[in-house]
Amino acid sequence: MIKRAENFESLENGLVKCRLCPKMCVLRDGEEGACKVRVNYNGTLYSMSYGILSTQSIQPIEKVLYH
């Protein structure tokens, strides 16, 4: 799912500056950030991984105690 990202600054000529991490990527139209998660489309930064699970696991509520 694609969602408009937060924490970015619009610059001149359709450039955007991502402020999410210390790298502060400046992206041209259609370019991905160093993280490969944020993309600039027409001067707006979008998150490409919004709503996608990174991990999933099932854990028991009560774990066995070994004495």
Whether the pLDDT of residue 3 is over 80: the answer is: yes
**Residue 33, C-beta contacts closer than 8 angstroms, at least 6 positions apart:** 18, 23, 25, 27, 39
The ranges assigned to domains in the chain are: 3-47
pLDDT of residue 38: 94
Q: What is the pLDDT of residues 4-52, one digit of tens each?
A: 988 999 999 999 999 999 999 999 999 999 999 999 999 999 999 887 8
**40 CB burial (10 A radius; 0-12, 13-18, 19+):** buried
Task: Tell me which DSSP letter residue 32 carries.
Answer: B
- Reduced to 3 states, what is the DSSP secondary structure of residue 38? strand
Question: Which of helix, strand or coil describes residue 59?
Answer: coil
